[in-house]
Amino acid sequence: MSNARTIVLTALADLSSGDITAVDRWLAPGYIQHHPAIPDGPEGVRAMMATLGAPIRHDVHRVITDGDTVAVHGTYYGIGPAPMVSFDVLRVDADGKLAEHWDAQQPKSDQTVSGRTETDGPTEVTDLDRTEANRKLVTTFVEGILLGGAGNVTDYLSTAEYHQHNPYIADGLDGLAAGLATLAEQGRTASYTTLHKVIAEGNFVLTMAEGTFGATRTAFYDLFRLRDGKIVEHWDVLFDIPATLAHHNGIF
């Protein structure tokens, strides 16, 4: 759907305005919700907006459009005591309505090991002719390295340039190894068990997976930027999966 990007960005801006009537304008009657704390359907979003009771600010950093599905990397202000770095993934139906929503958020960090923020860096979608090749490379990386624990990481990650936006990990492959070792020493090893969704457009690929971070069941949203067949940049959001949900859809 060529205009899915425009629909999603316009709808998110309208919904962020605090105008509850935006729910009727943009959400399909059968809207499927995956956020753990919001009940299913338009009424769940309407109730959430009424609870907030005021406009919120949503800064958009990156947008990936993959058919009828749009992933938005952004930061929310006003939904909690701290700014929340987020990924919103929305499916648009044939009527131009938002039909399904997945998301993950984490509080914005004041400092990162790499000196980069959790959201800065390139935003332009390029290399549209490499979309499927990049999707395949990232899928193989996640399934083989992150889930399977086998293979050579340098088959996927650039040895010359690897920019890191995770707050606890420095740039480069040495920074990645050191950061993961430090987290392991603290009992916070990331273990991926299932890859649920891969969203790709040009040089950007977003994966949605689950597993554990330390002892906590976790959703892993990882955004990769690629150049010349290698991953050169990484952003992520880790989101705790609660034991109970406000609906029966699961978070994936």
- Do 138 and 86 lie in one domain? The reply is no
The confidence score (pLDDT) of residue 151 equals 82
Q: What's CA 92's distance to the chain center, in Å?
A: 17
**For residue 220, is it within any domain?**
yes
Residue type, 91: R
- Do 84 and 152 lie in one domain? The reply is no
The confidence score (pLDDT) of residue 53 equals 81
- Do 86 and 136 lie in one domain? The reply is no
**For residue 122, is it within any domain?**
no
Name the 3-class secondary structure at 109: coil
The confidence score (pLDDT) of residue 150 equals 79
The confidence score (pLDDT) of residue 34 equals 98
**For residue 116, is it within any domain?**
no
- Do 132 and 95 lie in one domain? The reply is no
Per-residue pLDDT of the chain (252 residues; tens, 9 = 90+): 459 999 999 999 999 999 999 999 999 999 999 999 999 999 999 999 999 888 999 999 999 999 999 999 999 999 988 999 999 999 999 999 999 999 999 999 988 999 999 999 999 999 999 999 999 999 999 999 999 877 899 999 999 999 999 999 999 999 998 988 888 888 888 899 999 999 999 999 999 999 999 999 999 999 999 999 999 999 999 999 999 999 999 999
- Do 156 and 229 lie in one domain? The reply is yes
Of the three residues 43, 73, 107, the one that is the final residue of a domain is: 107
- Do 102 and 132 lie in one domain? The reply is no
- Do 102 and 146 lie in one domain? The reply is no
The confidence score (pLDDT) of residue 2 equals 59
Contact between residue 119 and residue 106 where contact means Cβ atoms under 8 Å apart: no
Residue 72 sits in a domain of what CATH number? 3.10.450.50
* Global model pTM greater than 0.85: yes
Contact between residue 142 and residue 155 where contact means Cβ atoms under 8 Å apart: no
The confidence score (pLDDT) of residue 117 equals 97
Alpha-carbon distances of 30 from 27, 35, 65, 215, rounded to whole Å = 8, 15, 22, 35
The confidence score (pLDDT) of residue 84 equals 97
E strands in 57-131: 57-66, 69-77, 84-92, 98-107
**For residue 113, is it within any domain?**
no
Contact between residue 59 and residue 51 where contact means Cβ atoms under 8 Å apart: no
Which helix (H) or strand (E) segment is 151 a member of? none
Kindly give the residue spans of alpha helices, DSSP state H, lying in the chain. Answer: 4-16, 22-26, 41-52, 131-141, 172-185
Domain count, the chain: 2
Q: How many CB atoms lie within 10 A of CB 234?
A: 19
Structural domain containing residue 98: 4-107
- Do 46 and 93 lie in one domain? The reply is yes
Euclidean distance between CA atoms 21 and 48, whole angstroms: 13
Contact between residue 36 and residue 249 where contact means Cβ atoms under 8 Å apart: no
- Do 87 and 179 lie in one domain? The reply is no
